Amino acid sequence: MKYYIISGEASGDLHGSNLMKALIEKDKNAEIRFWGGDLMQKVGGTMVKHYRDLAFMGFAEVLMNIRTILNNIKLCKKDILQFKPDVLILIDYPGFNMRIAELAKKQGIKVHYYISPQIWAWKENRIKKIKKDVDFMYVILPFEKDFYEKKHNFPVHFVGHPLIDAISNRKQVDEHTFREKYGLSNKPIIALLPGSRKQEIKKMLSVMLKMADKFEGYQFVIAGAPSQDYDFYLQFINKDNVKFISNKTYDLLSVSYAAIVTSGTATLETAIFKIPEIVCYKTSWISYQIGKNLIDLKFISLVNLIMNKEVVKELIQNDFNEINLEKELKRILKGYQRAVMFLDYYDLEQKLGGKGASEKTAELIIKQNSEIN
């Protein structure tokens, strides 16, 4: 069978690569063409475009690159028409992917959406286009099934969260070897995950690193994003108990004692590693006001949203400051709050549906397509 897969971000590249492995294992005649990244490319198939050429975040950046975005959409549509896939698989990335879904539907190509757009957070009116242009939806968060089926009468498949597999299948790290390799001390490690974009990293790290002066008994380690060069981070590595490690976030989390994490998928990854964390987020005043009016949620971290209660502390906008961060870090380093968080993390993993998200999704895609034909 011929598969066309579109992923526009790093997380989508990870989940897309695992889905591709499962498809190839279950369909020996699989022919795959995709938009993705290095991880998907390692699996096989033919890459049309790398996600680094697609990732424009924020209102201003999108406007500045609108011509490039439109050209990419045009290229993608043309490539699909030439390839003539049996199946189109979309991975999140809704601004781009929903436009492609519309074309595929008109061409009679079955549209499978793996990892739903977060329309429960904002742009809920996208449900109309999803109902119109998407044939099969696979959701990875437990509350999404009720959202689609009970609120919008649109059947979906809950397949579990692919991060469970991505983390459990990784090669284990020996802590002594890891510390030796990166010149880390024997002090307990506090991982700093400041995000992936330069503006975001500057804003978050400037506050996070103030903790290094207040908690000298700990080794602080910045998790460098693969999208940024080492030279960019040099300005922040100016204290004896601060180190930098690039593109090894999972290895770092596996040996960490606690973490300070910028809101995003990393908050859920940290929780699956069972690392007590503080979730932080700060943006410009204008962006925050726009977001506050568009998004109506009780929490911003996936951990708290899934559990429907405050498991991890969220320091948002003005609450993200030196005083509050020091206070919350003390709470998760020792005592009762740390123990409670561990118990909640185990409940969280149960809610996420266990292992096998990629295999379940691949099986469903193949089965549904064969039943149609």
Give me the mean pLDDT over the 296-315 stretch: 91
Kindly state whether residues 28 and 139 are assigned to the same domain: yes
CATH code at 175?
3.40.50.2000
pLDDT-derived band at 17, boundaries 50, 70, 90: very high
| Contact call for residues 312 and 329 (beta carbons, < 8 A) | no
Residue 285 has pLDDT above 60, yes or no: no
pLDDT-derived band at 52, boundaries 50, 70, 90: confident
Q: Look at residue 238 in the predicted model and tell me its pLDDT.
A: 79
- At 34, is the secondary structure helix, strand, or coil? strand
Total number of domains in the chain: 2
Lowest mean pLDDT among 3-12, 43-52, 55-64, 101-110: 55-64
Kindly state whether residues 239 and 321 are assigned to the same domain: yes
Kindly state whether residues 116 and 134 are assigned to the same domain: yes
Prediction pTM value = 0.84
**DSSP state, 125?**
G
pLDDT (tens digit per residue) in 100-135: 999 999 999 999 999 999 898 878 899 999 999 999
Tokens of 82: 């030439």
Give me the mean pLDDT over the 176-188 stretch: 95
For the chain, state the CA radius of gyration: 21
Kindly state whether residues 259 and 363 are assigned to the same domain: no
Q: Which of 296, 298, 322, 299 is nearest to 312 (CA)?
A: 299
Residue 56 has pLDDT above 60, yes or no: no
- At 215, is the secondary structure helix, strand, or coil? coil
Give me the mean pLDDT over the 64-82 stretch: 83
Percent of the chain with pLDDT over 90: 69
Lowest mean pLDDT among 122-136, 272-286, 327-341, 344-358: 272-286
**Alpha carbons 267 and 276: distance in angstroms, whole number:** 10
**Alpha carbons 119 and 131: distance in angstroms, whole number:** 13
Neighbours of 353 (CB within 10 A): 17
* Count of residues in the chain: 373
pLDDT (tens digit per residue) in 124-169: 899 999 999 999 999 999 999 999 999 999 999 999 999 998 898 8
**Alpha carbons 360 and 346: distance in angstroms, whole number:** 22
Kindly state whether residues 362 and 316 are assigned to the same domain: no
Tokens 């080794």 locate to 219
To the nearest whole number, what is the mean pLDDT of the chain?
A: 89
The one-letter code for the residue type at 332 is: I
Kindly state whether residues 210 and 306 are assigned to the same domain: yes
Residue 66 has pLDDT above 80, yes or no: no
Contacts of 42 (CB under 8 A, 6+ apart): 17
Kindly state whether residues 133 and 278 are assigned to the same domain: no
- At 373, is the secondary structure helix, strand, or coil? coil
pLDDT-derived band at 291, boundaries 50, 70, 90: low
**Alpha carbons 185 and 240: distance in angstroms, whole number:** 10
Relative to beta strand 242-246, strand 2-7 is unpaired
Kindly state whether residues 334 and 363 are assigned to the same domain: no
pLDDT-derived band at 355, boundaries 50, 70, 90: confident
**Alpha carbons 19 and 68: distance in angstroms, whole number:** 28
Kindly state whether residues 17 and 143 are assigned to the same domain: yes
Contacts of 342 (CB under 8 A, 6+ apart): 274, 276
Kindly state whether residues 60 and 178 are assigned to the same domain: no
Tokens of 329: 């870090």
Give me the mean pLDDT over the 183-205 stretch: 91
Q: Using CA atoms of 264, 265, 266, 268 in order, give the dihedral in degrees to the nearest 10.
A: 110
Domain extent for 219: 168-351
The one-letter code for the residue type at 233 is: Y
**Alpha carbons 242 and 226: distance in angstroms, whole number:** 19
Neighbours of 208 (CB within 10 A): 27
Kindly state whether residues 217 and 309 are assigned to the same domain: yes
**Alpha carbons 328 and 314: distance in angstroms, whole number:** 10
Kindly state whether residues 143 and 175 are assigned to the same domain: no
Give me the mean pLDDT over the 313-337 stretch: 93
H helices of 121-273, in order, are: 127-133, 142-146, 152, 162-168, 175-181, 198-208, 211-214, 230-233, 249-254, 265-272
Residue 372 has pLDDT above 80, yes or no: no
Q: Which of 280, 255, 286, 284 is nearest to 266 (CA)?
A: 280
